[in-house]
Amino acid sequence: MEKLAAERKEQVLDNKFCQKLAEEFNCSAGRAGSKVLQATQVQGWFLNKFPVSATKPTCVPTISQEKPLAAEVNVSVSEKKSAASEEKLSPLDTSISNNEDEVSPVFPLETTDKIPDLEELEFEAKSSKDSAWYDIALFLAHRRNRAGEIEVRVRFEGFGADEDEWVNVKKCIRQRSIPLESSQCRSIVEGDLVLCFREGNEEALHFDAHVLEVQRKQHDIRGCRCIFLVEYDHDRSQERVSLRRLSRRPKYL
């Protein structure tokens, strides 16, 4: 893998190249009986191994049916078109304090995102099994339900075909949420919809939640120490969490 990256450089992030490489791995004798390796996992390996020379791969929907889905998905999610981009921030206070009760006097401004090109869009879907949101690896097929609404069959990132689901495009498909850096805590305010990583005894999943309260604290060498009281939308339970467990929704210019 390292030799391929050195020889082919940017080519290792090409979707077709990663798909072919994944198929070769899956057919090898050494992976007999192992879980099927996805092309997106191969791309992720190259990105993690060579982050300086690589760029984040795009997850462009692909369709196995004879009718193209791209136009219909584009129409359904056009109102939510946005993606992570350059953040417009004011200088951050770099002072360090170990006093948990001291509030930082300077915070970065709220961030906005530029509207991306279609090929840059990545999506996440809400599972009907647990109400959690998962990144989409592939769009496999589409159909209309009895109410005339469009549904798509998706494959979730990191999961096999046995976990594929039919989901409603309008209600359960949206552009991916964006993980937050420590310097971006000021962009989260009371009332915001966020995607929160919830850790339980048997599972750790991402759920929609609304911010009820924010306790601003002085940042230290470990980064943001602010505390966010959130209420999960699916069961109305509340929890106090740190910034590292939150992802924000894309914001328009």
Is residue 50 packed enough to be buried (19+ CB in 10 Å), middle (13-18) or exposed (0-12)? middle
Please give the residue range of the domain that contains residue 26. Answer: 2-51+118-175
Is position 69 within any domain? no
Amino acid identity, position 177 = S
Helix (H) or strand (E) holding 143: strand 133-144
Q: What is the CATH number of the domain that holds 206?
A: 2.30.30.140
Of 144, 175, 206, the domain-final residue: 175
Shared-domain flag, residues 237 and 189: yes
Run of H or E including 139? strand 133-144
Q: Is residue 168 part of a domain?
A: yes
Phi, psi of 199 (to 5 degrees): -105, 120
- Name residue 47's amino acid: L
* pLDDT one-digit tens code per residue, 135-145: 999 999 999 99
Domain tally, the chain:
2
pLDDT recorded at residue 236: 96
Query: CA–CA separation, 244 vs 249, rounded Å?
Result: 15
241 - beta bridge partners? 228
Q: Are residues 126 and 187 part of one domain?
A: no
Domain end among 175, 191, 223? 175
pLDDT value, residue 18: 73
Residues 242 and 138 in one domain: no
Domain annotation covers residue 56? no
Q: Does 195 share its domain with 239? A: yes
Residues 45 and 123 in one domain: yes
pLDDT of residue 209: 97
Q: Does some domain include residue 225?
A: yes
pLDDT tens digits for the chain (253 residues)?
Answer: 556 555 555 555 666 777 777 677 666 665 555 566 666 766 666 665 554 443 333 343 433 333 344 444 444 444 443 443 344 334 444 334 444 444 444 444 455 676 666 667 899 999 999 999 999 999 999 999 999 999 999 999 999 999 999 999 999 999 999 999 998 999 999 999 999 999 887 789 999 999 999 999 999 888 999 999 999 999 999 999 999 999 999 876 4
Final residue of a structural domain among 156, 175, 194: 175
Angle (nearest 5°) at CA 72 between 67 and 78 = 155
- Statement to judge: residues 234 and 182 lie in one domain: yes
pLDDT of residue 213: 97
What secondary structure letter does DSSP report for 74? Answer: H
- Asked if residue 164 and residue 138 are part of one domain, the reply reads yes
Evaluate the CA torsion angle 29, 35, 40, 44 in order and state its sign.
negative
Instruction: Please name which of 56, 212, 72 lies closest in space to residue 135, comparing C-alpha atoms.
Output: 56
pTM over cut 0.95: no
CATH number of the domain residue 38 falls in: 2.40.50.40
